[in-house]
A and B are shown apart, each in its own frame.
Chain A
Amino acid sequence: MAIRIKDYTQKESPLTNGHRMCPGCGAPTAVHQGLMGVESPLVVVNATGCLEVSTTVYPFSSWRVPWIHTAFENAGAGVSGVEAAYVALKKRGKIDRDIKFVAFGGDGGTYDIGLQALSGALERGQDFTYICYNNGGYMNTGAQRSSATPKGANATTSPAGSVIPGKLQKPKDLTAIAEAHHVPYVAQTTLFNATDVAEKVKRAVETPGPAFVNILVPCVLFWGIDPGLQQDICKLAADTRFWPVYEVVDGVWKLTYKPKKRIPIEEFLKPQGRFRHLFKGEASKAMLDEIQADVDADWKKILDRCGETWEG
């Protein structure tokens, strides 16, 4: 059943106001939008990262739901442990409530250092949802490159210099890696359509077994955008086909947002400070062409996987 946003406007978010995330940050938006359609009681597991440090500054907590953080690389294992305890205690009659489990990790904690723990948890088939709030780098430590950082981005460990024009590698396809674990639900989305985020997370949480949702979110500091442009930049990510929006249900791939017309990748890159160097001088033109070629090839791959011939 489709989610009606207005039905949820009166509902309390598990994450309160007054946390210390930056204005315009996409991570709390992903939490609010993602969890607004979830009806069951929740326990949240958080990897180390901006969301963790900025929402639990002792002696305060911005979480209205039970919440646990242990370390950076282990949110997959952490959610496994809580879910295992729940299953055990429920079987033994010590808990009678139905509870769902959601883990949040940034792309550093998910694509990189936490990939092993996530892979283990997905393979074990436990009942949880892992949400990657993916802003394409290590923001908590100051804009270092991760394996989710886009090609060409100026990050503090892949700086745009006079010889090297920023990060040279394209990001790994983590959503496809998650899907390769034969889990019942994986999805990719971004923040311009709250209904889509809410529906995907709701479906992920309600699907028995492991689910993975990869949400592209801006970091206003790293991306170098105006905080008011959060939704616009996310829409450009989808419309330029940089970030395809889709879901995979029991192995069946489905494109859930079809950009109306072909928009060059420059439209997504140009408003962002981290790509500014790509728009200066002839040498950078080659990099832009390379990025466009990557986007086109990846888009074709997604269309093939989704059985789509639609070109827009």
Chain B
Amino acid sequence: MPRREITSGNWAFAEAMRQINPDVVAAYPITPSTDIPMKFADFVANGKVDTNFVTVESEHSAITACVTASAAGARVMTASSANGVALMHEIFPIAGCFRTPIVFGLVNRCLGAPINIHCDHSDSMAERDAGWVHLYCEDAQEAYDTAILSVRLAEHKDVLSPVFVCQDGFITSHGFEPVNLLDDTAVKAFVGERKADFPLLDIDNPVTYGSFVMSEYYFEIKRQQVEAMKNVLKVYDGVAKEYEALSGRFYPKLDAYRTEDAEFIVVVMSSASGVVKDVVDELRDQGIRAGCLRVRMFRPFPAEEVAAALGGAKAIAVLDRALSIGGTAPLAAEVKSALYDAGKSVPVQSCVYGLGGRDFFPQYARDLFCDLAAGRVLREERYLGLLE
């Protein structure tokens, strides 16, 4: 039966894993995603799943085992954060190129140094060119729903891609909130069974994965990945609508909040959007036409939809929870590029906030909207909540 439980982002993700009951999970502990494999280990130990749970000796081995298990034909899930994600870096593009579906609970945490266990998006942003789908979740409910939805997206015949399901470390992963959970059998029916096209375990039709490819073919193979990633933009809404029919919850690529007639829009990802949306409501009550665009799908980047949502605004601020030191912060760079390609010359203020788990307060959003309304848009990056 569907249930409503007070749970955390990590536990909600683990609960989705229990219901999905994947063939293989290979995982290694790291704060703040450790709860996911811990909770899952309980499910294994108590017979709640019959997954083959591989307790590897490092994140590098975790993702390697996930890739080879997926190539073998298994449905595969895992989770990690921060330095663990960075250790996996070498293998991510291999997973992308092999077109091996993997649903990966990425609990965002900043990369050292300095070492720090709290949230920012520097870990996942460092993997933005790995050839994975990147979905960023606002809360525990969304992390749960996205885990289930992503199984279908990853294994879709036109996609065949690994998927990062990102949630904010501690803020979402360890915050407890009410989450609506689906019926076990409904999840089972929705995800179905994986039918791999070229499984390594098909002994009678042997395949070679990971061959040595020189300049004559390498470029063409990478180009095929570009096309497959474009397919995500076409396929995603259909999968999300099927999930809506099951759950009553629809998750678009972009969560546009009161943007239709907005003059001033703040673009943000993940949990900080809740704060921005509250401030939007507050300002709307005062007659200020404020809006919030939450980017849920970062890879592939839905550039045309972003430009359409933002193009009519007078000024925009983009909030990044990651730096691109010496360059433009990742989300701001994407937004500016999308607007340029659409021929829209809206002033864009790039802001970095919340690094290393620094809190994001409503006052930062209020001040930002005031600056946009007053035409105070700087060419340089701003740092919200920085003590200096």
**Alpha-carbon gap, A80 to B68, bound state (A):** 8
- Which of A46, A74, A123 contacts B64 (CB under 8 A)? A74
A92 touches B206 (CB 8 A): no
- Which of B65, B94, B209 contacts A80 (CB under 8 A)? B65
- Which of A66, A70, A78 contacts B207 (CB under 8 A)? A66
Whole-angstrom distance from the CB of A122 to the nearest CB of chain B? 10
Question: Which parts of A68-119 form the interface with B (CB within 8 Å)?
Answer: 68-71, 73-74, 76-82, 84-89, 91-92, 94-95, 97, 99, 116-117, 119
A68 touches B71 (CB 8 A): yes
What count of chain B residues pass the 8 Å CB interface test?
43
Measured between beta carbons, the chain A residues less than 8 angstroms from B90 are 71
Measured between beta carbons, the chain B residues less than 8 angstroms from A88 are 23-24, 51-52, 69, 74
A85 touches B64 (CB 8 A): no
Q: Does A299 contact B (CB under 8 A)?
A: no
Q: Does A21 contact B (CB under 8 A)?
A: no
> B208-220 interface mask toward A, CB cutoff 8 Å, 1 = contact, 0 = none?
1111111001000
Measured between beta carbons, the chain A residues less than 8 angstroms from B61 are 74, 76-77, 80, 116-117, 120-121
Question: Which parts of A13-70 form the interface with B (CB within 8 Å)?
Answer: 41, 43, 45-46, 52-54, 56-59, 61, 63-70
Q: Does B26 contact A (CB under 8 A)?
A: yes
A78 touches B68 (CB 8 A): yes
B91 touches A74 (CB 8 A): yes
A-B Cβ contacts below 8 A, count: 165
Q: Does A124 contact B (CB under 8 A)?
A: yes
Question: Which parts of B50-84 form the interface with A (CB within 8 Å)?
Answer: 50-52, 54-58, 60-62, 64-74, 76
**Alpha-carbon gap, A71 to B63, bound state (A):** 12
Chain B residue with Cβ nearest A98: B203
Whole-angstrom distance from the CB of B36 to the nearest CB of chain A? 18
Measured between beta carbons, the chain B residues less than 8 angstroms from A126 are 54
Q: For B51, B62, B73, which residue has the most chain A Cβ atoms within 10 angstroms?
A: B73
Measured between beta carbons, the chain A residues less than 8 angstroms from B94 are 70-71
Measured between beta carbons, the chain B residues less than 8 angstroms from A80 are 26, 54, 56, 61, 64-65, 68
A70 touches B212 (CB 8 A): no
Whole-angstrom distance from the CB of B95 to the nearest CB of chain A? 9
Q: Does B202 contact A (CB under 8 A)?
A: yes
**Alpha-carbon gap, A65 to B72, bound state (A):** 13
Measured between beta carbons, the chain B residues less than 8 angstroms from A84 are 24, 26, 52, 54, 65, 69, 74
Q: Does B200 contact A (CB under 8 A)?
A: yes
Chain A residue with Cβ nearest B52: A88
**Alpha-carbon gap, A81 to B90, bound state (A):** 17
Whole-angstrom distance from the CB of A68 to the nearest CB of chain B? 4
With contacts A70-B94, A86-B201 taken as known, whether A81 is within 8 angstroms of B211 at the C-beta atoms is: no
Chain B residue with Cβ nearest A95: B201
Measured between beta carbons, the chain A residues less than 8 angstroms from B213 are 58
A69 touches B211 (CB 8 A): yes
Question: Which parts of B142-157 form the interface with A (CB within 8 Å)?
Answer: none
- Which of B58, B68, B211 contacts A85 (CB under 8 A)? B68
Whole-angstrom distance from the CB of A120 to the nearest CB of chain B? 3
> B190-231 interface mask toward A, CB cutoff 8 Å, 1 = contact, 0 = none?
000000000011110011111111100100000000000000
Question: Which parts of A248-265 form the interface with B (CB within 8 Å)?
Answer: none
Whole-angstrom distance from the CB of B68 to the nearest CB of chain A? 3
Whole-angstrom distance from the CB of A139 to the nearest CB of chain B? 15
**Alpha-carbon gap, A126 to B57, bound state (A):** 14
A43 touches B201 (CB 8 A): yes
A85 touches B24 (CB 8 A): yes
A69 touches B200 (CB 8 A): no
With contacts A63-B206, A66-B202, A74-B91 taken as known, whether A79 is within 8 angstroms of B68 at the C-beta atoms is: yes
Measured between beta carbons, the chain A residues less than 8 angstroms from B74 are 84-85, 88-89
Q: For A85, A86, A92, which residue has the most chain B Cβ atoms within 10 angstroms?
A: A85
20 pairs from A and B in contact (CB 8 Å cutoff): A57-B214, A63-B206, A66-B206, A69-B210, A69-B211, A70-B210, A74-B64, A77-B60, A77-B61, A79-B68, A80-B54, A80-B64, A81-B70, A82-B69, A84-B74, A89-B73, A99-B201, A116-B57, A116-B61, A117-B57
Given A91-B52, A117-B61, A124-B54, 18 extra CB contacts under 8 A: A52-B212, A54-B212, A57-B214, A66-B201, A69-B209, A69-B210, A71-B91, A74-B60, A77-B61, A80-B68, A82-B201, A84-B52, A85-B69, A87-B52, A89-B72, A91-B50, A117-B57, A121-B61
Query: Which 8 A-B pairs have CB atoms at the shortest separation, nearest pair first?
Result: A120-B57, A81-B65, A81-B68, A77-B61, A85-B72, A56-B211, A85-B74, A69-B210
Q: Which residues of A contact B (CB under 8 A)?
A: 41, 43, 45-46, 52-54, 56-59, 61, 63-71, 73-74, 76-82, 84-89, 91-92, 94-95, 97, 99, 116-117, 119-121, 123-124, 126
